[in-house]
Amino acid sequence: MDPMMKQRLDAVLASYGADPQRWPAAERTQLLPHLEAAGEALEEARLIDRLLDLTPTPALTTGLESRLIARIGRQATPAKFSLGWTAALPLAASLVLGIYLGAMGALDGLLPLVVTDDIAAVSEDDDGSSGVSEATDYSGDQLS
């Protein structure tokens, strides 16, 4: 028996027991010819089946099912999902922190050059100018 078939047989024995009548039909037809080759897994499944057969079946009181269904129906109200300010405050704090760090340029070294362009790649001979003089002038004189 190939290892995959043995592994599947062991899983079926552990899940459904040693009695092939309890197995799903597709598993039964495929694994039944290999049942005697299961060895220790088959013996363990038979032992567990015998132990389970010895346990008493609990007696259910009359009307238990209808009482449970009625109780579940009463408790099945939709739950309200509301975090309120407990979720808004950390989000607002992270937004403020992000704006502050972005404005200070503290994270520019972590961003790729494509995003920060020349801001992150500041040279040592930088004169500290803001770059406003290099901006294109779109004043009213040129638009007409």
Between 3-16 and 40-54, two packed helices, what is the crossing angle to 10 degrees?
10
What pLDDT, on a 0 to 100 scale, did the predictor assign at position 131?
A: 56
Whole-number Å distance between alpha carbons of 119 and 45: 70
Query: How does pLDDT run across 93-104, given as a tens digit for each residue?
Result: 999 998 888 888
Query: How does pLDDT run across 52-93, given as a tens digit for each residue?
Result: 889 888 887 888 888 888 888 777 666 666 667 787 888 899
